[in-house]
Amino acid sequence: ALVGDAAHLIHPLAGQGMNLGLRDVAALADTVAAKESFRDLGDMVLLRRYERARREDIRALMIATDGLQKLFSVPGPLAKIVRNSGMAFVGAQPFIKRWLVSAALG
């Protein structure tokens, strides 16, 4: 079973590698703790459970980081104005900021 940066192709843009790795370790520990006594730690059924448990979190983070990378790679002054306005809007909204922080921390 792979965890952390070894298991994912996440752009480092968002700096979420550590948080993602900790959530991987927690999910793997839960999967191992819940395993049937007859299953070996390398049992494919067990490994698939871990993979399924992590799938949505990883997919959401990949979509978010890919979107941010694409957003910030658009050149030009208009794109810069739109990005800065969007960031200022998000920064001024406590509910949105709390939601983003909560999502990032898992």
Distances (CA, A) of 25 to 5, 19, 32, 93: 12, 10, 10, 32
Please check whether residue 46 is in contact with residue 57, taking contact to mean a CB–CB distance below 8 angstroms.
no
Reading the block at residue 7, the tokens are: 């298991």
Question: How many structural domains is the chain composed of?
Answer: 2
d(CA 91, CA 93): 6
Residues 33 and 69 occupy one common structural domain: yes
Residues 41 and 64 occupy one common structural domain: yes
Q: What is the pLDDT of residues 33-53, one digit of tens each?
A: 999 999 999 999 999 999 999
d(CA 98, CA 81): 24
Residues 37 and 13 occupy one common structural domain: yes
Residues 81 and 60 occupy one common structural domain: no
Residues 18 and 66 occupy one common structural domain: yes
Residues 15 and 58 occupy one common structural domain: yes
Residues 9 and 41 occupy one common structural domain: yes
pLDDT in tens, the chain (106 residues): 888 777 777 777 767 778 888 999 999 999 999 999 999 999 999 999 999 999 998 888 888 888 888 888 999 999 999 999 988 998 899 898 888 878 777 6
Specify the pLDDT at position 25.
Answer: 93
Write out the residue range of the structural domain in which residue 46 sits. Answer: 1-73
Specify the pLDDT at position 14.
Answer: 66
